[in-house]
């Protein structure tokens, strides 16, 4: 898995605008690449059908039919929506190489993606995403 070259964000706001729009907890995760505590997020165990969007800008990111139970403490998906919904970038912030996942539309931090963990999913990827980065629009999927 190779991180892709980043396109420019299409939603651009000042730090003050993001702080005014987001709660302090949302701001910490989405704009400062924080992480919510495991097993406390509103979507960790959700099985509701629908589309998960970026809480900061509303861009559609993941579908519920790609969500799976990884038991890691955060919502897990095996693939984002087709196209360029997310950007993957190398992250060394914890003293190890990881791949950060950000919203392609507003460059907000969503979580990280891991591969080769042995889950029985079609991609062998786990997009480990903070619930607080997402908003679920309930709707039947075709």
Q: For the chain, report the end-to-end CA distance as a whole number of angstroms.
A: 29
The H-assigned helical ranges of 11-133 are: 15-21, 24-30
Active site residue 103: no
Q: How far apart are CA 74 and CA 129, in angstroms?
A: 6
Single out the catalytic residue among 54, 57, 103, 128. 128
Dist CA 52 CA 45 (whole Å): 14
- Give the list of residues 6+ apart from residue 88 with CB closer than 8 angstroms, or none: 1, 3, 4, 99, 100, 101, 113
Active site residues: 128
């Amino acid at each position: 898995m190779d991180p892709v070259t980043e396109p420019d964000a299409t939603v651009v706001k000042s730090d003050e605008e993001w702080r005014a729009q987001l709660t302090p907890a949302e701001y910490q995760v989405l704009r400062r690449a924080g992480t919510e505590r495991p097993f406390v997020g509103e979507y960790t165990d959700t099985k509701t059908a629908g589309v998960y969007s970026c809480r900061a800008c509303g861009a559609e990111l993941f579908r519920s039919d790609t969500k799976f139970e990884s038991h890691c403490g955060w919502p897990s998906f095996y693939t984002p929506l087709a196209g360029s919904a997310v950007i993957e970038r190398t992250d060394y912030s914890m003293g190890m190489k990881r791949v950060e996942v950000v919203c392609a539309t507003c460059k907000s931090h969503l979580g990280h993606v891991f591969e080769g963990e042995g889950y029985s999913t079609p991609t062998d990827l786990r997009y480990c995403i903070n619930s607080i980065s997402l908003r679920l629009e309930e709707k039947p999927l075709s």
